Amino acid sequence: MGDQHEFLIPGVYIEDTDCYNVVYYANYFKFFMRALQHAIGPKQLADLHAAKGVSMTIKSIDKGKYASAAALGECVRVTSTLAGTSERTVRWDQEAVAGDGRSLVRAQVEVGFVDAQNLLVPLPECLQLPLSCGDPFPLSGELVPYIGAPSIVTPTTVFSDEVGLDGRLTLEAVLRYFERNRTDIIGGAEGLKQLQEAGVMVVVARLEGAQFALDNAENVCLLGATVEARTVVEMQRRNTTVVFKQMVFHNQRLLAQAEITCVCVLQDKMKICPCPEPIIERMTKPAA
């Protein structure tokens, strides 16, 4: 496996999009994971899981920046560049680019390999990392809850399509839980209607400091369990920007966290604008 790899998504399908017919924010990381699986080799990964019960997973995501959006039918090319290794994980600089060359999303993604007990194992030989595989870095640390009064808590039952082969929550499931909680914080259907009437969209701009709990056997076999999404909200830049510091818990154990920054945009002019006051009041009200 070389220092850089390219992976082509020949076309964006309906299943990849949101209500605006552009790629749903979480699905770019689905594309990123597919690109890494393709770089390593799907068969090698399947053989590794069959022989040793080991699977690849995301440990952390940082420096995520959303620059543009891919529309229904567009092709997307993902470039993955090896950025460095730790004792048990690998970091990649990844970028999704549209067919016309515009940058869509870029992020630094740290992946590792876990066994059936959700414990990180040494990097498998099938990676065949080149000698010039970037700078060494320390393994990302333990998860620490964000400080502040959380807004509305969103409980969710974990279903079979939200866990991987090892029973752990998938990345896509965690990002969906975050999205559901943000929707509840805005005010659900009523809040979305208020935004629509005001002609305002709340657009994801950045995803930073995302970490996922590994090295803990209690985070395996969550199928059927109830998890809770909680968020600490901060208004910034004259109320045009909302920082959602989001967490997913199970039995008071922190499973995942991320800081997701959204920007309020006028839908007709595509210009940044302040968030409507009723939405601000609702978002910044602590949970009862």
Q: Give the tens place of pLDDT for each residue, 236-272.
A: 999 999 999 999 999 999 999 999 999 999 999 899 9
Rounded Cα gap, residues 191 and 182, in angstroms: 11
Q: Which pLDDT tens digit goes with each residue over 150-202?
A: 888 999 999 999 988 767 889 999 999 999 999 999 999 999 999 999 999 99
Among the ranges given (92-96, 109-113, 152-156, 162-166), the one the predictor scored with the smallest mean pLDDT: 162-166
Distances in whole angstroms, Cα of residue 267 to Cα of each of 91, 169, 200, 205, 251: 36, 34, 6, 15, 40
Distances in whole angstroms, Cα of residue 252 to Cα of each of 229, 237, 247, 269: 11, 33, 11, 43
Contact 146, 232 (CB under 8 A): yes
> What is the model's pLDDT at position 37?
93
> What is the model's pLDDT at position 136?
54
> What is the model's pLDDT at position 152?
87
Higher pLDDT, 139 or 36: 36
